[in-house]
Structure 1
């Protein structure tokens, strides 16, 4: 057994102690449980920081940085994160299964990943090991927590929590420092507590389709090199949430953007390299690019799930906001990837000719491609949703064009000195989402 696997196993055993918290919460009054539940982990953190500085225990838990400093900072941070989540769950009555699930997903997902790395160096296989291990053990841990607290939750919902948590944890570990366990654990728990509060309704068919379709398409995007590993994880995570929290129609718009947008990036890629306008990393979209173009849409999906019970707004307005943001992302991607192949682009603010690839530069060919992209997303919405009429089709397409234009204007004015390309993409999709919602209200569609 390698030291990495042994260390991951030791952390997993510490995480297993989290099952004491729901037992304590059931067996003792709340004030006592609030103190007693986190206490073992606080004690463990103190021992890691001030007592254990050599010997077998130190060598078992020590990471390279811990050996240099002579303190088990990794173990202390992990233990304090567990203690903090336990305290939040006990003090505010938050779902105990979410707390347990977050701990087990991270701890046992990491163990599964390290075991896989002993037989292969392929990052995607190791990542799959983390997600699969975290998902399976996270599911079992939640069920154990529900039994210990004598509460109930549907199996599909438990599976959804485990899958969402495993994907988010894996994604965060690929874009953050790999050992930021406390931040990863807290992020997973907070997201799942949000879903628990929304009382998300999940069916067995929905979660099965969501997992099968998103994982399959995610692997295809990685194999075709239209997405990097973090980009693939981000896409799968967003796809899962879109299917479960929204509907298949929402996902159809999202996956169309991912697919067509990714292929447009690869279109005549060598020529784009020659012209200096090609995407980095052989055109494979990373997590930053995916999130910049999809964060607004994700917020719209969650908003729709939260309305009208938690947000006094009709859920249909979030549908138009979602569709508008995706239409803008598609429109901007196609206008850039297609329009950049043509000569004589002009700056949108002055219409003077500039070099290809200049921020804020447009071509009439690119504008037509962008309009086609926005129209495609609007057509999917028209076909998939009864709420979207022919007028709704025009609203979504118009919002997409507004977002594309906003992207060009922002690129010509603030990109570079103030914000980067991904920031501009996010702002453009936000503008389009707002436009979609306002246009829908103004047109009397809601």
Structure 2
């Protein structure tokens, strides 16, 4: 057994101590945490130090990794004690991080395949988080309460596992304290939305999103981080919005990803091809889809009356559609328009080289309008709230967002904004334009 596996095993055992909170209460939990912190601060060498130390701990002879891990768990426990965060979320999060890491370290002894290790981490983390939450609910509310909440516990565990795997992919392996805090906050938010789930619904949702992630990675349209991000966003969209919302979002991922592959050799010759053989990374996915997922969360929060003021859920639906229409429009415009050698700068209409920020072609503009129309037609067919005028507004908002993207590219990109920042602001403008236009028509009508 290697040192990383032994260390992960000890950390996982320490995570099990989180059950002290529901079993014996906060007073005992504080005493246990104090003893653990004292021990981590006192031990500076010897076999125990070697067992628990990360490579960076040897320089100063301090178990900084263990100290920060315990402090993160204590901070999360304090949040749970002083807020509406449930004890089950707290215990599940701690279990998720500790046992997920143990599963991944064991997988590293067997395979060098990145996707296999990520898969083992997600499965280990999911099972551990479910086990921690189930044990907590059984202790605090009784075993009879489990049947009604188990699907929601699985959803929370799956969401947390995906976020943890994503953060571990983009951060260092020793940043588990940060991972723990972010996962805990996400699960707190999701639990507050009180999603009503059954066993069949969560099973189907997990199967669909897992299949989507596999296909995206197999077709090389997404990196591992991009795949994890897309799977998490799709899972949240299905559970908090519905399958119609998922169909609209996945249409962007599918069509946008395939458009990246369109005449890829030609794009390479022109120097405008996406890196990594066109595989979209986390920055690209978040830049294009973060506004959409914020709209999904807003829709769920308004439906659950979480907001202090009364907000119409339909506005979030149109904001979602407007942001996706913008992302689709902009992606098709750039991926199809970039193969033509006669772009013009949108602000001056002067000829520019292919790939110049803010450069547009008439072919790209037509493709972009077509992309916005696709999202509008899907929304019209899937959502009863979207009538003909609503579909027209969605298409118009997508075109507006695409134009904003080009204007920002010609003026601010490369100086004040990066590409992902431009994508975010463009999708935000499309979302706002769509929601405001719908609100205006409602007021006037």
- What TM bracket, shorter-length normalisation? over 0.9
Q: Does 1:44 align with 2:44?
A: no
The verdict on how the C-alpha distance between 1:336 and 1:93 changes in structure 2, with shifts beyond 3 A counting, is: closer
Cα offset for 1:170? 0.5
1:410 corresponds to which residue?
Answer: 408
For 1:193 and 1:217, how far apart are their aligned partners in 2?
26
SS of the residue 2:59 aligns to: helix
| CA deviations over 1:267-324 (Å, ceiling 9, x no partner) | 1111101101011111100011100101000110000001041232110000000000
Cα offset for 1:85? 1.1
Q: 1:304 aligns with which of 299, 303, 308?
A: 299
2:232 corresponds to which residue?
Answer: 237
For 2:314 and 2:84, how far apart are their aligned partners in 1?
32
When normalised by structure 2's length, the TM-score is 0.96
| CA deviations over 1:308-357 (Å, ceiling 9, x no partner) | 41232110000000000001000000000000001211100011110010
1:150 corresponds to which residue?
Answer: 141
Asked whether the 8 Å contact 2:252–2:328 carries over to 1, the reply is yes
1:374 corresponds to which residue?
Answer: 372
Cα offset for 1:45? 2.2
SS of the residue 1:443 aligns to: helix
Asked whether the 8 Å contact 1:345–1:354 carries over to 2, the reply is yes
- Length, aligned pairs only: 437
For 2:200 and 2:385, how far apart are their aligned partners in 1?
24
1:426 corresponds to which residue?
Answer: 424
Q: 2:101 aligns with which of 97, 106, 110?
A: 110
2:362 corresponds to which residue?
Answer: 364
Cα offset for 1:146? 0.7
When normalised by structure 1's length, the TM-score is 0.96
For 1:38 and 1:191, how far apart are their aligned partners in 2?
24
Cα offset for 1:374? 0.6
For 1:418 and 1:378, how far apart are their aligned partners in 2?
32
Asked whether the 8 Å contact 1:106–1:134 carries over to 2, the reply is yes
For 2:426 and 2:373, how far apart are their aligned partners in 1?
17
Q: Does 1:166 align with 2:144?
A: no
Asked whether the 8 Å contact 1:42–1:83 carries over to 2, the reply is no
2:215 corresponds to which residue?
Answer: 220
2:44 corresponds to which residue?
Answer: 53
| CA deviations over 1:121-157 (Å, ceiling 9, x no partner) | 0010000000000001110110001112126461110
Q: How does 1:259-298 map to 2 (within 5 A)?
A: 259-298=254-293
Cα offset for 1:41? 2.1
Q: Does 1:132 align with 2:123?
A: yes
SS of the residue 2:355 aligns to: coil
For 1:133 and 1:196, how far apart are their aligned partners in 2?
21
| CA deviations over 1:86-126 (Å, ceiling 9, x no partner) | 12212235201100111011100111111111110001000
Q: 1:81 aligns with which of 72, 75, 78?
A: 72
SS of the residue 1:386 aligns to: coil
For 1:367 and 1:126, how far apart are their aligned partners in 2?
42
Cα offset for 1:38? 3.2
Structure 2: any 5+ residue segments left out of the alignment? none
Q: How does 1:335-414 map to 2 (within 5 A)?
A: 335-414=333-412
1:334 corresponds to which residue?
Answer: 332
For 2:372 and 2:33, how far apart are their aligned partners in 1?
52
For 1:387 and 1:127, how far apart are their aligned partners in 2?
39
Cα offset for 1:15? 0.5
| CA deviations over 1:420-444 (Å, ceiling 9, x no partner) | 0000000000000001101111222
For 1:365 and 1:399, how far apart are their aligned partners in 2?
19
Asked whether the 8 Å contact 2:325–2:376 carries over to 1, the reply is yes
Structure 1's consecutive aligned runs of 4 or more residues displaced over 6 angstroms after TM superposition are none
1:4 corresponds to which residue?
Answer: 4
